[in-house]
Structures are given as structure tokens and as C-alpha cells.
Amino acid sequence: MKLLVLAAIITAVWYGFKMMTKITEDRKDRVDNLRKSASRPTTEDMVACPECGTFVAANSSSKCDRANCPY
């Protein structure tokens, strides 16, 4: 009887460690995925508008409120 209880305790401890290892690995994978998905923001070159002096992104197609704005 004592051997059966001892075997049950050993089995419970064994599966407990396996479960804790899996939880730790899953948590690490989630953190790694979050770090990979959180990319750095990209930078763009800025140029001054020759008409109003406002800086706009060089590749931008948005216009300022001036009628003769080239951007």
C-alpha cells in the first residue's frame, strides 16, 4: 500500500514538473512573439515646402492649405 502511495506521489510530481515546463515555454513563446511583432517605427526624410516652409514627408502626397503647394 505504501508503495502505491509513493508511486502516485512520484507520478503527480513528475506530471506537475512537465506541466510547469510547458507553461513556462508557452509564456516565453508569447513574449518572443510580442517582441517580434512590436517593430520599430520607420523614419522618413522631411523636406521643407518652398512656398510655406512647412516640413512634409518627402514621399507624402498630402498638401498644405496653400494653392500653389507642390506637395
Confidence of residue 13 (pLDDT cuts 50, 70, 90): very high
What pLDDT does residue 22 have? Answer: 96
21 has a pLDDT exceeding 60: yes
Confidence of residue 30 (pLDDT cuts 50, 70, 90): very high
Q: pLDDT for 38-53, tens place per residue?
A: 766 677 888 887 777 7
What pLDDT does residue 33 have? Answer: 85
SS (H, E, C) the chain: CHHHHHHHHHHHHHHHHHHHHHHHHHHHHHHHHHHHHCCCCCCCCEEECCCCCCEEECCCCCCCCCCCCCC
Residue 39 vs residues 32, 36, 42, 58, 65: alpha-carbon distances, Å:
12, 6, 9, 22, 33
